[in-house]
Amino acid sequence: MTGLYAVYRRELTAYFQTPLAYVFLAVFAFAAPAFAFHIGRFFDTNRADLAPLFDYLPWLLVILMPALAMRSWAEERDRGTLEFLMALPIPLWASTGGKFLASWTIAALALALTFPMWIAVNYLGSPDNTAIATGYFGALLLAGGYLALGQTLSATTANQVVAFVLGVAACFVLTMAGLPFVLAAIGNGAPAQISEFVADLSALERYNAFRHGVIGLRDIIYFLGLIVASLASAAVLIAERRGGGR
């Protein structure tokens, strides 16, 4: 655990040693309410809930989580520091876990910046605070899934821009998989099992369950599975580099 803690601490500090964390948090703090107020028409719904925020949050996370995760390994490879890291006596799961937990901490901070909206709806009415709390929990898990996926794709390249584009594409596909028109398109001519499989893959469907105040074990397992599988893939990709292209 000392290795994981050391990497976590270094990564978290690194986010704040450059403008990255500040820019990310500022953009999130501005963009999340902007989506809710202008596109979600927060006040026009006449409902005391955070539906306008939670409706658009996945799409914001599709863009911003890969931006946070893109540097994880691509930057290490580009700067040559990967060799320093690989020469430290720490297992790869500790490096990937430390990097992931640091980026997840930033994501949690970003979500916390939308809490003033939660306070506002409580001031304006009587929202279902349990559903809002589970909604935030779901958003945190969704962010974790996207970050882990982004980290895996960051391990495939030394170019952060490529890592970002791949990350956005992968998160977009994972989110889109649950939309009705995608399922309808697949449903035309494809076996029902394939439609069901694609629907099961959808991060959006799982996230929506949390929004409605339901904490399902299957949904938690889905997100934790996505995180663990993605981080394991990242560790395998980095471990492969020890083989030197064998």
Residues of this chain that bind other proteins (CB under 8 A): 2-3, 5-7, 9-10, 13-14, 17-18, 79-81, 83-84, 86-91, 242-246
Kindly tell me which of 3 and 127 has the beta carbon lying closer to other proteins: 3
Kindly tell me which of 83 and 196 has the beta carbon lying closer to other proteins: 83
| Closest distance to other proteins from the beta carbon of 89 (Å) | 4
Kindly tell me which of 11 and 219 has the beta carbon lying closer to other proteins: 11
| Closest distance to other proteins from the beta carbon of 56 (Å) | 33
Kindly tell me which of 8 and 223 has the beta carbon lying closer to other proteins: 8
CB 103 within 8 A of CB 66: no
Kindly tell me which of 119 and 242 has the beta carbon lying closer to other proteins: 242
Give the CA distances from residue 35 to residues 28, 150, 220, in Å, rounded to whole numbers and listed in that order: 10, 23, 26
- Distance CA(50)–CA(91), nearest Å, equals 41
Question: Tokens 């649950």 belong to which residue?
Answer: 178
